[in-house]
Amino acid sequence: MPIKKVRFLILLFSFVFTMSFSQSKKIQEKMTKEIKKTFSIEKFKIDAVLISDAINTQLPYKIKPTTFFKIISEDVLLGYAFVDKAPSKTDSFDYLILLDKNLIVAKIKVLVYREDYGAEIGSKRWLKQFIGKTKKNKLQYGNNIMAISGATISANSMTKAVNRFLKNLEFLYQHKIL
């Protein structure tokens, strides 16, 4: 690939990456807070995990270039962060999945919930059941993930979103991308 094309792609990615965070500064701030708290660290950087188009088309759920990141401190990989949206009854909510360096779920957090009902999915008590899950787990709402009365759609949506992400992790790990 010619150097000019590579430079253009890098600049384009940097612009898109920067714009995505400038449009959602609130999300970025919440994500930073959760990373600091979960990994007990003040200084770190996040680098996008770049997934080629060829791999992305094979994933069960496409990963956008502005949603999956490595968390690095002093050139040491601490873990990964995945931030995305999932549908609720009439809108969507933003959520964050933090993984340790071994690809084990360290924390899940609902960052922004936009409905009048169903916000119970943001409770620490409900979300803690995802901690410790790995790419080998298959999650089923109402089976190995507790149901929530009054938040059925959102809770089911969150379970499906986490399950899809874990399936992606399995694929990325098998293909030596992670």
pLDDT tens readout for residues 2-35:
665 545 445 444 444 444 444 488 899 999 999 9
Task: Tell whether 96 is covered by a domain.
Answer: yes
Question: Does 144 have pLDDT greater than 60?
Answer: yes
| pTM exceeds cut of 0.85 | no
Q: Across the strands, what pairs with 87?
A: 92
Task: Tell whether 13 is covered by a domain.
Answer: no
Instruction: Determine phi and psi for 34, rounding to 5 degrees.
Output: -70, -35
Count of domains forming the chain: 1
Tens of pLDDT, residue by residue over 93-136, are 999 999 999 999 999 999 999 988 878 888 999 999 999 999 98
What pLDDT does residue 112 have? 92
Task: Tell whether 65 is covered by a domain.
Answer: yes
Task: Tell whether 2 is covered by a domain.
Answer: no
Task: Tell whether 83 is covered by a domain.
Answer: yes
The tokens 């960052």 sit on which residue?
111
Task: Tell whether 9 is covered by a domain.
Answer: no
Residue 45 structural domain: 26-174
The answer to whether 110 and 95 have CB atoms below 8 angstroms apart is yes
Tens of pLDDT, residue by residue over 60-104, are 889 988 899 999 999 999 999 999 999 888 888 999 999 999 999
| CB-based burial label for 143 (10 Å; 0-12, 13-18, 19+) | exposed
